[in-house]
A and B are shown apart, each in its own frame.
Chain A
Amino acid sequence: MPIRQKVFAVLISVVIFVVIIELVRKRKLREEYSWLWLATGVGLLVLTLWYNLLVAITRFIGAALPTSTLFFFGLIFVMLLNLHHATKTSKLTDEVKNLAQKIALLEQEIKSLLEYKDKKV
């Protein structure tokens, strides 16, 4: 791998890593969501530093160039991240639905209690 490519890849990985840690530190990203992002950064870093591993993987999956292997895994990671978010969104949708129902039920309860009170007075 040309040294220019290597430096660039390492730089990108380090920036990603730092940004994620910083987001978690500022509480803008919850820890539970950060692990996949961190894994992406670490994976990228390992593959660029340990060139022989990259070449071995490239040979194993039958890719022509080590760079395509990097892109390929990059895409896989992005897909996994999206899937991870889709499951979270589904869960959130359910929770928001349950909350909305609870609010509506409580509102009805309050209304009937007030009516009952008015009748008594």
Chain B
Amino acid sequence: MEKTLVIIPVYNEEEKILSVIEDINKKTHGMDILVVNDGSADKTESVLEHSGVRVINLPYHLGYGVALQTGYKYALEKGYDYVIQMDGDGQHDSGSIKDLLREVRSGGIDVAIGSRFLSNKKYRTSLPRKLGMKLFGSIASLIMGQKVTDPTSGFQALNRRAIKFYGSDIFPCDYPDADAIIMLHRAGFRIKEVPVIMHYDNRSKSMHHGLGICYYIFKMFLSIFVTLLREKSTKEEI
């Protein structure tokens, strides 16, 4: 029997997280869910206590990438075959989980990345974000020789081999993004974008704002650049 785990890294999501869990439960018929609480300062921890899902509480705020990786380490330890990673703010529509899972289960794909731009539903976003996605999307497309429309997507499905990669030390833990996808590609993983539904949330806070955007752009360029300089690591080595 193949085991699948849904990993949701959360930071200060006391209002949304329960409805997100409920929605996943409804649409996946009781798939295992793991919420990684990244040192939230609000009531997220107590809200989750009686939610019935597995919860990992990080001792302090370590950032999105670290929370995510903690989930992958858990999945590795517990021997899960597939992982779905999604956000806890309700942006990712859990109805799309089955579409992502179908791709990795079919065997030909290691990582299925949910793209909000491939589906017909229009996704509204701010201009700087749109430009950033376009820029890094085109860089990733150029390097990988396949079209990448949504490099910032945190809605993904992975198989066991890719889970191992995400759980290893080479995974870029601060802002895993286009650079992680390029790294996966260089390591020989097969990646495919799958149309998914994402809901635009006015209230939602982006991880990048203010000076953070400058650092994000700098880090992304540097990370992609050094990834290309490094020797290719193959997925068998990981």
Interface residues of A (CB under 8 A from B): 94, 97-98, 100-101, 103-105, 107-108, 112
Contacts and interface: CB of A to CB of B under 8 A. Distances in A.
Contacts of A101: 58, 62, 66, 69-70, 73
Interface bracket on B: 10 to 19
Contacts of B62: 97, 100-101
Contact of A100 (B55, B60, B169): B60
A98 B72 CA distance: 13
A94 B169 contact: yes
Given A97-B173, A101-B66, A108 B54 contact: yes
Contacts, number: 36
**Main secondary structure on chain B at its contact with chain A?**
mixed
Interface of B: 36, 54-60, 62, 66, 69-70, 73-74, 77, 169, 173
A100 to B, nearest CB: 5
Contacts of B169: 94, 98
Contact of B58 (A94, A100, A112): A100
A107 B57 contact: yes
Contacts of A107: 56-57
**Main secondary structure on chain A at its contact with chain B?**
helix
B47 to A, nearest CB: 16
Given A97-B62, A97-B66, A100-B62, A105 B56 contact: yes
B54 A105 contact: no
A105 B73 contact: yes
Nearest to B58: A104
12 contacts: A100-B58, A100-B62, A101-B58, A101-B70, A101-B73, A103-B59, A104-B58, A104-B70, A105-B56, A107-B56, A108-B56, A108-B74
B40 to A, nearest CB: 13
Contacts of A103: 59
Contact of B54 (A97, A98, A112): A112
A108 B59 CA distance: 12
Contacts of B54: 108, 112
- 8 A-B pairs with least C-beta separation: A101-B70, A108-B56, A104-B56, A104-B58, A100-B59, A97-B66, A103-B59, A104-B70
A94 B77 CA distance: 20
Nearest to A94: B169
A90 B66 CA distance: 15
Given A101-B73, A108-B54, A108-B56, 12 more contacts: A97-B62, A100-B58, A100-B60, A101-B62, A101-B69, A104-B57, A104-B59, A105-B70, A107-B56, A108-B57, A108-B74, A112-B54
Central interface residue in A97, A104, A108, by most chain B CB within 10 Å: A104
A101 B70 CA distance: 6
Contacts of B70: 101, 104-105
A42 B203 CA distance: 60
Central interface residue in A98, A101, A107, by most chain B CB within 10 Å: A101
B226 to A, nearest CB: 13
Nearest to A101: B70
Nearest to A107: B57
A86 B57 CA distance: 29
